[in-house]
Amino acid sequence: MYSECMSTPERLIESTRELLWERGYVGTSPKAIQQHAGAGQGSMYHHFAGKPDLALAAIRRTAQEMRATAEAVLGGSGSAYERVEAYLLRERDVLRGCPVGRLTMDPDVIASDELRAPVTETLDWLRERLAGIVEEGRAQGEFIASIDPRETASAVVATVQGGYVLARSSASPAAFDAAVRGLLTLLAAARTGDRPRATTQPRTTTQPRTTTR
């Protein structure tokens, strides 16, 4: 499953990330991690103090990847609206869900201050990043003066996370696509001047992936 050049700690972390996404914290047993990673018990406990330590490393890795993926779009070229639009329309495996967002529904993760911290920090970072872009657009006259950057950013994050839930509950990415299109219509209405409205479809897929998005 993994490249032969991947170290044992890397295989353990990647395996834990996958299992946390698929089974949650309780369902991710040390034995399952070892089997998934092709590593022995001795190797696991040589590199990590135990399951909580390994889970924290995995959650941090997932959070870092989510930030990098979002920043690659939000930090790109284009107007404020176009960058938010690009974030909303980027390709996602919506039926599998958000690896960070799903952790918020894991009671064992939420009950642990240490495990919850990377999740909270990442979602806070995303809201702040989006709010900064909307504020930039407002300052440059792209958005109407009455738009609230923080509330708008929260709406973007809520739409994406809620869209995952709707898509999974209906077993169809159409619900996610509809939520995104609706938000883009509202956001386009807050732009100044006569600008074209978004018509592009969100790029979604129903195929499982081995990497987070």
Is the confidence at residue 181, as pLDDT, over 70?
yes
What are the sequence ranges of the domains in the chain?
A: 63-189
The proportion of the chain whose per-residue pLDDT surpasses 70, expressed as a percent, equals: 88
Q: What is the pLDDT of residue 213?
A: 39
Average pLDDT (55-70) is 96
pLDDT at 172 over 90: yes
Q: What is the predicted pLDDT for the residue at 212?
A: 38
- The model's confidence at residue 3, banded by pLDDT at 50, 70 and 90, is low
Averaged pLDDT, 137-164? 97
Average pLDDT, the chain: 90
Q: Are 110 and 104 in contact (CB under 8 A)?
A: yes
Q: Which amino acid is at 42?
A: G
Cα–Cα distance measured from residue 138 to residue 140, given in angstroms and rounded to the nearest whole number:
5
Higher pLDDT, 43 or 121: 121
Q: Choose the weakest-confidence range: 84-93, 116-125, 191-200.
A: 191-200
pLDDT score of 33 more than 70:
yes
Which has more pLDDT, 210 or 29? Answer: 29
pLDDT at 45: 87
Whole-number pLDDT of residue 202: 66
Which of 39-48, 78-87, 125-134, 189-198 is predicted with the least confidence, judged by mean pLDDT? 189-198
Fold of 63-189: Tetracycline Repressor; domain 2 (1.10.357)
Examine the pLDDT at 195 and tell me if it is beyond 80: no
pLDDT of residue 207: 47
Cα→Cα distances 53→4, 7, 56, 66, 169, Å: 24, 17, 5, 20, 32
Cα–Cα distances (Å) from 67 to 25, 29, 72, in that order, read 22, 27, 9
CA dihedral sign, ordered 203, 134, 119, 185: negative
Which ranges of the chain does DSSP label H, i.e. alpha helix? 8-27, 30-37, 41-47, 51-74, 80-89, 107-110, 113-139, 149-170, 174-189
The pLDDT value recorded for residue 128 is 98
- The pLDDT value recorded for residue 6 is 86
pLDDT of residue 203: 64
Given a cut of 50, whether residue 210 has pLDDT beyond it is no
Average pLDDT on 90-113 reads 93
